[in-house]
Amino acid sequence: AGIAFWLVLMARAIFPALLAPNGQDKNLLALLTSSVVCIGLFYGTGLFYGERTHISVMEYWRWWVVHLWVEGFFEVFATTALAFIFSTLGLVSYRMATAASLASASLFMLGGVPGTFHHLYFSGTTTPVMAVGASFSALEVVPLVVLGHEAWEHWSLQHKATWMKNLKWPLMCFVAVAFWNMLGAGV
């Protein structure tokens, strides 16, 4: 019931914006909406096993949920959410925000599962397979880092707009998210 409540709230806010005939490009809003819906569907797979399910089946699905969340869903959601915020505030162009979000989603679709291969060390996976996994995993943070760099460059021009001084700490938090994501997931 709680999930349905949040979906209704989200739908009430997003569908009027998607259906408005103002002629503005709605790709970024559609990407944000789909990433949020996909997260809910993704975690919904956790409802397919219960207390009588064998531990090996539960651990298999737990591993996939945890690692696909880290290797892909979070990257797409974080990039799209920050792109939406940055473009709304004028820190990045709408075109740049949409391109970064599409790049993140494309990298996830292309390398989400191979990106988990670097975790297979203890199962005896060969070095080339783990290298492929590490490469895809490191590539997944690139769109968010590029977006954070673009926002940082615009932030350096803050003395030209008084409203940016009022939003200093929230904006610095978002730029820090991009930096720490690059350091933690990319490096």
Span 104-135, pLDDT tens digits? 888 777 777 777 777 777 778 788 888 888 88
Q: What is the predicted pLDDT for the residue at 29?
A: 84
CA distance 134 to 131: 5
The confidence band for 187, taking pLDDT boundaries of 50, 70 and 90, is low
Query: Which token pair is 125?
Result: 């996976």
CA distance 182 to 82: 14
Q: What is the predicted pLDDT for the residue at 161?
A: 66
Q: How far is CA 54 from CA 46, 51, 59, 61, 120, in A?
A: 14, 8, 9, 11, 22
What are the domain boundaries of the chain? 1-16+24-113, 125-186
Q: What percent of the chain has pLDDT over 90?
A: 0
The confidence band for 159, taking pLDDT boundaries of 50, 70 and 90, is low
| Cα-based torsion angle of the residue sequence 153, 154, 156, 157 in order, rounded to the nearest 10 degrees | 140
